[in-house]
Structure 1
Amino acid sequence: MASRFLNGIERNSHFSDQLIKLIPKTDIHCHLDGSLRVETLVDLAKEQNISLPTYDVDELRKTVLKEFYTDLTDYLVPFQYTSAVLRNAKALERVAFEFAEDCYSEGVRYFEVRFAPHLCAVPEVLSTEDVILAVNKGLKRATDTFNGIDDDVHKGIAPEYKYGIIVCGMRFFDENFSPFFKNFCEIFKHENKKKMFGIASLQLVKLAVHIRDTMNVPIVALDIAGCEASFPAINHAEAFQYAHENHMNKTIHAGEAYGPESIFQAITSCYAERIGHGLNMFDTSFFHPETPVNDKQKYVDGIIRFIANRRICVEVCLTSNYQTAPKLRNNISAHPLKRMLEEKLSVCLNTDNRMVSRTTMCDEIRLAVDIFKFNKDELWELISNGFESSFMPGSYANKLEYLKKMKLFYNRIVDMCPVE
């Protein structure tokens, strides 16, 4: 599918499709509710008597799950349907299993999947804890299956398959977002809206820490998602403070629909160790009119140094950025990925939403190597950044050993596969 963006761009002959599939990969920025199989969405909707615009898979791809979207609002339309079918434990387990199966089948050795449990929970029917445990059950079953059937894992040639879970709070919500939020808004109807958003995130991270510590579930980080421009990360500072104090990692969507200020706030007010997207980090046109910044370029340069020095990883999602950002319309080559690397930032490639963006990790790598003409060493840098910046469960020593094995496996695949 990556080829639909590559009109007039010459294919990078260093990389065959077979090589890209076989090399070990990460995907550490991917949303579960945007990554269902289309056929599964239809099946679940029929099972649960949930209305879709059409139950024909091909027609659904044409009208809802498109190759191209007009803007971010259009891009978010499918999520109202995916969220609706993910409000029972059986469906969540199935979708999680299939997600992991799809990732592992294309050579993703480690992923971190994120989702907002509050969008799936149903008061007195399906608790937030139930949501998280159902997702983990599906992920673990798929992971155990793949580790059981992979001969290279058994022989010690290839690293085992692993995963982590990232829970997402919402930058904002109202009673129409989900049954949980309808109930939540009623309970806190006299509360200040911004404070209410923060309370929800705080309750989520407290539960996540409890589940991580008492049930051996690999919840590795807290995130916030949703409209960025009008709903700053600082509203959720208390939740991220709690995560910080309880040794839970932090990644925040920032610089996707707003600019450098949003990124800086995510890092300084909410302890973000990774930034989701960061698309507008070099853009001086996104500053809020009331921001007391005289020299915008100096401010941006300072943020770039700040991110680079602290090795804060930027989770780049080429396809979804192309589909939602007007400045990339008809020109995916304008993506700042190349400049990020020139500035020596830590950057990794990700899918964001496999179904909604109609992409895979193989597609994202194909795009990157064809557009920016990376060689095999440069590609390894992107891939290793994903492993190094991951929030992988377990000790740091084990993570380094895993990365070492990953490098040897990468070199083995590169040596084995011929160029085109």
Structure 2
Amino acid sequence: MVDPLLLDGEPVAGAELLPDGVGDLVEGGEGAHGWKDRRVSTPSRDLVRRAPKALLHDHLDGGLRPQTIIELAADCGHELPAGTEGDAEALGRWFAEAADSGSLVRYLETFDHTVAVMQTEAALTRVAKECVLDLDDDGVVYAEVRYAPEQHVEAGLSFDDVVAAVQAGFDAGVAETGGRIVVRQLLTAMRHQARSREVAELAVAWRDRGVAGFDIAGAEAGFPPTRHLDAFEYLQRENFHFTIHAGEAFGLPSIWEALQWCGADRLGHGVRIIDDITVGDDGSVTLGRLAAYVRDKRIPLEMCPASNVQTGAADSIAEHPIRLLTELRFRVTVNTDNRLMSGTSMTDEMWSLVQAFGYRLEDLRWFTINAMKSSFLPFDERLRIIDSIIKPGYAALGAR
């Protein structure tokens, strides 16, 4: 049976498909999609925390627990900028302040410290396991977690060692949750380096053992995705999935190259697609050719609101393009990016949208189903999680 509020997982634009009593579709009505439900109020933060969530854009090296960093730094002799007396709260504050400083240099410095303590198999396995446990505690039922293997070989590990260690941690975490969460790896290549083909081959080699896709990350300006065409062409020949960080710090050319030259399945962030959308003084909206293509092709946008505010891609949550993109029915998903640096979680991200835009459980379900539909899992597995976990989970919380 088709969910009466969702057609292919997205809001329906016809009142005849709404169940009796749910509400009226009204011009400029309430809610993210212009429909008003008189019986469902704005959810509490606790309700948001309990709702099932799907996460597509989360960096393993951006989500460590401060206490874990302190302990791993002591093991490997790495000097930390704070928390030297074992004060995890002080270290956590340092990460948050550095990320909020407005200085790209200070923001990037935070990763120097997390990556430095992730150079052994034991450290990688611990971090990966704790990642799973933290996501599960946050109500995440599906996650794709990304990292760059090339950043974890300073102590002599091979690429294969790195992936195996992370997978061991994910497996241990999933087992400890009793299988409540499904987690997959995304292997990232750094766009300013020249190892993308090697990482792409590594991802394909692990495709049936926990790796679901490939990514490139790093500075967009000066390092276009077309520098890595050989990796993307290889992945396409192997029928493998990949996403590309694009449209975060750089504009439309980065998005255009990621899609039209490289063939990305999803856009990491993609927030700058707003630059190709014009809102007239009368409220009319005009989509440029690229924005129209992204919407028409249902290309998923891996949006990370808190991170975007920190990096200047948006001035505030209230002014984040996610609202307009959602109203225009782009394939919007909500993500964390770097949970430690942004001091965030999936609950925090969704709760901030509820507070800023008055989103309801139905809107959060829409974001969640968008993400699950856009995941790199096989279709039948995506469908199982949507039908047996996400929809029943929201229904149990009162979503209509």
TM-score, normalised to structure 2, is 0.83
Deviation per CA, 1:123-156: give whole Å up to 9, x if none.
Answer: 7x210110011001000111122126xxxxxxxx
Residue 46 of structure 1, aligned match among 69, 74, 78:
74
Query: More relative contact order in 1 or in 2 (CA 8 Å, sep 6+)?
Result: 1
- Aligned residues of 1:71 and 1:325 also touching (Cα < 8 A): no
SS in 2 for 1:415: coil
Separation in structure 2 between the aligned mates of residue 83 and residue 383 of structure 1, nearest angstrom: 30
Separation in structure 1 between the aligned mates of residue 313 and residue 268 of structure 2, nearest angstrom: 18
Q: Structure 1 residue 72: deviation in Å?
A: 3.3
2:178 aligns with: 147
Equivalent residue runs for 1:72-91 within 5 Å: 72-91=104-123
Look up the equivalent residue of 2:205 and give its one-letter code.
H
Judging changes above 3 Å, is the alpha-carbon distance between structure 1 residues 112 and 304 closer, same or farther for their aligned structure 2 residues? same
- How large is the RMSD of aligned CA atoms in angstroms? 2.2
Deviation per CA, 1:167-222: give whole Å up to 9, x if none.
Answer: 0001104xxxxxxxxxxxxxxxxxxxxxxx2xx1001111221232xxx4121111
1:355 aligns with: 340
- Aligned residues of 2:305 and 2:320 also touching (Cα < 8 A): yes
1:98 aligns with: 130
Q: Structure 1 residue 312: deviation in Å?
A: 0.7
> When the two structures are aligned, how many residues end up with a matched partner?
350
2:288 aligns with: 301
Separation in structure 1 between the aligned mates of residue 294 and residue 272 of structure 2, nearest angstrom: 14
Separation in structure 2 between the aligned mates of residue 406 and residue 126 of structure 1, nearest angstrom: 38
User: Is 1:162 equivalent to 2:182 in the alignment?
Assistant: yes
SS in 2 for 1:65: helix
Q: Structure 1 residue 281: deviation in Å?
A: 1.3
Separation in structure 1 between the aligned mates of residue 141 and residue 94 of structure 2, nearest angstrom: 33
- Aligned residues of 2:243 and 2:267 also touching (Cα < 8 A): yes
Separation in structure 2 between the aligned mates of residue 242 and residue 103 of structure 1, nearest angstrom: 32
Separation in structure 2 between the aligned mates of residue 299 and residue 73 of structure 1, nearest angstrom: 37
SS in 2 for 1:168: strand
Q: What is the percent sequence identity of the aligned residues? A: 34
Judging changes above 3 Å, is the alpha-carbon distance between structure 1 residues 326 and 145 closer, same or farther for their aligned structure 2 residues? closer
Structure 2: gaps of 5 or more residues? 1-39, 278-284
Deviation per CA, 1:331-362: give whole Å up to 9, x if none.
Answer: 32111001111221101100001111110110
Q: Structure 1 residue 299: deviation in Å?
A: 11
Look up the equivalent residue of 1:356 and give its one-letter code.
M
Equivalent residue runs for 1:12-23 within 5 Å: 14-23=42-51
Q: Structure 1 residue 254: deviation in Å?
A: 0.5
User: Where is the helix percentage greater, Structure 1 or Structure 2?
Assistant: 1
Separation in structure 2 between the aligned mates of residue 64 and residue 380 of structure 1, nearest angstrom: 31
Separation in structure 2 between the aligned mates of residue 63 and residue 100 of structure 1, nearest angstrom: 24
Residue 379 of structure 1, aligned match among 324, 347, 364:
364
User: Is 1:415 equivalent to 2:395 in the alignment?
Assistant: no
Equivalent residue runs for 1:315-334 within 5 Å: 315-325=302-312, 327-328=314-315, 331-334=316-319
SS in 2 for 1:332: coil
Structure 1: gaps of 5 or more residues? 1-11, 149-159, 174-196, 286-297
2:5 aligns with: none
Residue 406 of structure 1, aligned match among 378, 389, 392:
389
User: Is 1:29 equivalent to 2:60 in the alignment?
Assistant: no
